[in-house]
Structure 1
Amino acid sequence: MKRKFMMLSLLISGPQQPSNDIDVYLAPLIEDLQTLWDVGVEAYDAYKKEFFNLPAVLLWTINDFPAYGNLAGCTVKGYYACPYCGEDMPKCRLKHSKKNAYIGHRRWLPHDHPFRTQKQPFNNKHEREPPPNPLNSEAIFRKVESIENKWGKVKDKKRKKRGEKKDDDDDRVWWKKKSIFFKLEYWKYLLIRHQLDVMHIEKNICESIYGTLLNIPGKTKDGIKSRWDLKVLKIRQKLAPDVKENNRTFLPPACYTLTKEEKKRFCEVLKSIKVPVGYSSNIQNLVLMKDLKLQGLKSHDCHVLMQQLLPTALRSILPDHVKYAIIRLCFFFNSLCATVVDVTKLDQMEEDIALTLCLLEKCFPPSFFDIMIHLTIHLVNEVRLCGPVYLRWMYPFERNMKGLKAYVRNRNNPEGCIAESYIAEEALEFCAEYVSNMRTIGLPPGHVETSSIDKPLPGGKFEHVDHSLIHQAHLYVLQNTEEVQPFIRFVNV
């Protein structure tokens, strides 16, 4: 999806985000969408050379998870953070970490799976509950139909002065408002209304993994509070903090704890990786060997690290069961983001991700399992209903917003700069359609540099290969080619 085919239909002024009040700004857009559905617009068919009426429908929205809650009207944190599970969401309140941990993914396993009867590795309970049934669109509409929207942000102090109390109704806790999108006649009949963004989910999970393994301050999910939570939950008592006589606390090493030598080996692998131009950022510049940590990774860097580089860097470190669980998660994202999706394998992917999350629960502390980890259980269902991920993730839109931010010349009036530059670009793009031999705006040229063709990667070396080694390589390729297998005869000597 290129910039040429994107339309800037709404520009909300800052400096603060509107959060739940975004419906006020979306009202003109909803009116246009209603017109496109009820009346349609007159369009021209260049093939038949005639005009026709073209109706249009809004399929879904795509945004990060906080904006998901603002548009859908549901909460994205707390006890009902998952928009699919709702009140039946598996959760656990961590006393010392003071946050919710979304564990309990054994519910998605088959009823006869041995993990359901294991107590100590999980939460000291047998799991007999089935997976929660997500509400359909019409059921959600019935829940929010009676909610009266109140615009504006009211602080708790003002609410106390007015004598108002917070509404503790369960429906109002899960659903904060009735989304303005329900004004569209067809909205309550759609199977998927708001998409979970795989880009941000993958980025947050990747940061949690390497932040915990390298024990990076601010990104690690392990610490003294998470260890005290293990003691409260009565699981993995060997990892409980040990308070010494001098009031110093010792944290026993866990199965995912890396020594300094292992951290150095992990960083050296990433430091030595060289990738082609345009594949990703220069990973070498993101590795700090002095502090043994990763810094400055963008969303696409986490995408490449999660799917390609992390399994390679973990081969020589970590115990087998921890390494196996993390690599399974990497392979899941690799299969999920494939350009071609085999529909017959989606059920198996759902079983695999449920088992992978259970394996991670046996290795990592409950504080590791935030809402991003839990949302992976619902990604396969969205692929089943909406198609491949690469057609509906945030990468092209984030890239387009980078171009819009570049329009800002006067920081006192950024909205005006963006609006003026965007209108000028649309005018130039319209004129470019009627000028021959002119590059179209919004369609970048290819990134292949003809000057660098037939040249090795930086640091490459030429080596002379003798004929015997060439014959061995040729024989190896033939023996491992599927088309040649029927013609190979094995002779027992």
Structure 2
Amino acid sequence: MCKENLPYTRGCGAGGGTGGAPLLKRLFLNPKDAKLLWWHAEERKRDGTIRHVADSPQWRNIDSKFQEFGTYKRSKACPVCEDDTQSLWLSKCRKIVYMDHRIYLLHDHLYRKKKKVFNGKTEDRKARLPLRGATVFSRVENINITFGKIKCKNKGKHKRKGLLLNIKGKSKDGKLVREDMVEMGIRPELAPSENPGKRTYLPAACYTMSKDEKTRFCKCLHGVKFPSGYSSSIKKLVSMNELNFFGMKSHDCHVLMARMIPIAIHGILPDRIRHTVTKLCLFFNMIHSKVINPEVLESWQSDIILTLCQLEMYFPPSFFDVMVHLVSHIVNEIKCCGPVFERYMYPFERHMSIFKGYVRNRYRPEGSIVEGYVTELTKRQVQFLSFSG
């Protein structure tokens, strides 16, 4: 069983997720456990001897007979595209990426014929049409929801993308992805140069910031002030000594993307990079409008597809995880479900922090929250009566 073919978990917790599928899903949620479960595919010795059950003929027989087994935690990760999810396996980075957004372009678009700036191939495929409502309902009518939160051992260690600032350990650019680009036959000017006895040299990419540019970028964000309650204090999230970000929450990332990054990169990056990143940020700004004209949605969709294709031209393949791909489906989601801001989780997450402050007895947190909320409500009623009286 290969790493890209993880145990089949489609429908786990939904659509009759019975048997061992939910258990396997829980096992692969933890990165450390997932690495151990991939050991037989990544680190096992293959010298012709029998060291593991994976060396048996029956194991190989299963792999060859059920080649599509388990591709939905990985190569088919998009819940919208499903079986038609276009993915690519990077052998050096050991990662599946989603960067074939040219399938959404018109059949005669210029980008479809370009090879070296994308994935080394022309694109003649067409995107699948959206599923009908009856089909979608048949997929979800038997959903079995399991309430509760699964605890993760690595809580709080999820990495944010640090491509522009080239943050160590968080950048999507490095030797491995440069080697993947060599295998794909794209951007030969970025190929790593290896000298015996010396460190590998990686040529600067078009999105690479110099130290002076990083300083200007961080200094701009460090001086930003927002009204109270608009977002976290951006100043506290920017380190001028290390020239990076830390302690960012999802809402902070949203505010930076929609509001601040276009201002911070002004006059820093090359024009084509700055314009593409700015268009991406403006898209996030527009989709969060409180009032949306339905007539502009088609132009938004074509613009974001073009922007994603331009990002593929400039950014490394490892940048395009499934979260980047899901941006291509946001406009259709607005058509079906209405404005994005109506489905925000940020207000609830912020209010949950208030409820957590009411907890005095950790053995009975629910009772503490109720008691604290009632006490606070009583105080407000007394204050209102005393003011009005």
The Cα shift of 1:371 comes to 0.7
Secondary structure in structure 1 of the residue aligned to 2:96: strand
Q: Is residue 29 of structure 2 the alignment partner of residue 78 of structure 1?
A: no
For residue 327 of structure 1, the aligned residue among 274, 278, 286 is: 278
Q: What is the TM-score of this pair, normalised by structure 1? A: 0.58
**282, 297, 305: which one aligns with 1:346:** 297
Q: Flag the 1:391–1:256 CA change in 2: closer, same or farther, 3 A.
A: same
CA contact (8 A) 2:15 2:140 kept: no
Show the counterpart of 2:87: 91
Pair 1:434–1:271, CA change in 2 (3 A): closer
Q: Identify the range of structure 1 (102-111 vs 126-135) with the bigger mean alpha-carbon deviation.
A: 126-135
Which residue does 1:101 correspond to in 2? 97
Match in the other structure for 1:362? 313
| Pairwise CA distance, 1:247 | 4.4
Give yes or no for the alignment of 1:297 onto 2:248: yes
Answering whether residue 202 of structure 2 is matched by residue 251 of structure 1, we say: yes
Question: Where in structure 1 are there 5+ consecutive unaligned residues?
Answer: 1-18, 25-65, 67-73, 146-177, 182-203, 440-493
Q: Which residue of 1 aligns with 2:129?
A: 133
Question: After superposition, what is the alpha-carbon deviation per residue over 1:100-155, rounded to whole angstroms, capped at 9, x for unaligned?
Answer: 0101101111222111111111112111111123434543565689xxxxxxxxxx
Partner SS, residue 75 of structure 2: helix
* Residue 107 of structure 2: aligned partner: 111
What's the TM-score once normalised by structure 2's chain length?
0.73
Question: Could you tell me whether the CA contact under 8 Å between 2:361 and 2:368 is conserved in 1?
Answer: no
Aligned pairs (5 A) from 1:343-492: 343-411=294-362, 413=363, 416-417=364-365, 419-424=366-371, 437=384
Cα distance in 1 between the residues matched to 2:375 and 2:219: 49
Alpha-carbon distance in 1 for matches of 2:257, 2:290: 17
Corresponding position of 1:179: 143
Alignment-derived partner of residue 259 in structure 2: 308
Unaligned segments of structure 2, at least 5 residues:
1-10, 17-28, 30-69, 146-157
Structure with greater Cα Rg: 1
Matched residues in 2 for 1:363 and 1:128: separation?
A: 21
Q: Is the contact between residue 85 and residue 133 of structure 1 (CA under 8 Å) also seen in structure 2?
A: no
Equivalent-residue separation in structure 2 for 1:229 and 1:354 (angstroms):
24
Alpha-carbon contact 1:273-1:283 (below 8 Å) kept? yes
Q: Which residue of 2 aligns with 1:491?
A: none
Per mean C-alpha deviation after superposition, the further-off stretch among 132-141 and 386-395 is: 132-141
Q: Secondary structure at the match of 2:163?
A: helix
Question: Which residue pairs with 1:155 in the alignment?
Answer: none
How many pairs align? 312
Distance 2:99 2:355 in 1: 40
Runs of 4+ in 1 over 4 A off after TM superposition: 19-24, 140-145, 425-436
What amino acid does structure 2 have at the position aligned with 1:242? S
Query: 1:281, CA displacement in angstroms?
Result: 2.5
1:461 matched to which residue of 2? none
Residue type matched to 2:269 in 1?
A: L
SS at match of 1:291: coil
Distance, in Å, in 1 between the alignment partners of 2:257 and 2:137 is 37
Q: Quick check: 1:238 aligned with 2:234?
A: no
Checking the alignment, whether the CA contact within 8 Å between 2:97 and 2:320 is kept in structure 1 is yes
In structure 2, the residue corresponding to 1:250 is in which secondary structure?
Answer: coil
- 8 A Cα contact 2:178 2:192, kept in partner: yes
Q: Are 1:269 and 2:216 an aligned pair? A: no
Which sits farther off after the overlay, 273-282 or 388-397?
Answer: 273-282
Does structure 1 retain, via aligned residues, the 8 Å contact 2:92–2:176? yes
Q: Which residue matches 1:456? A: none
Report the Cα distance in structure 1 between the residues aligned to 2:308 and 2:237, rounded to whole angstroms.
Answer: 28
How far the C-alpha of 1:83 sits from its partner, in A, is: 0.4
Distance between the aligned counterparts of 2:278 and 2:298, measured in 1?
Answer: 20
User: Residue type matched to 1:366 in 2?
Assistant: P
Q: What amino acid sits opposite 1:396 in the alignment?
A: P
8 Å CA contact 2:280, 2:304 repeated in 1 = yes
Larger RCO, structure (CA 8 Å, separation 6 or more):
1
1:93 alignment partner, SS class: strand
> SS of 1:305's equivalent?
helix
Name the counterpart of 1:163.
none
Q: List per-residue Cα deviations over 1:432-485 (Å, max 9, x = no partner).
A: 99989359xxxxxxxxxxxxxxxxxxxxxxxxxxxxxxxxxxxxxxxxxxxxxx
CA distance in 2, matches of 1:353, 1:82: 17
CA distance in structure 1 between the aligned counterparts of 2:300 and 2:307, rounded to whole angstroms: 10
Residue 280 (structure 1) shift: 2.6
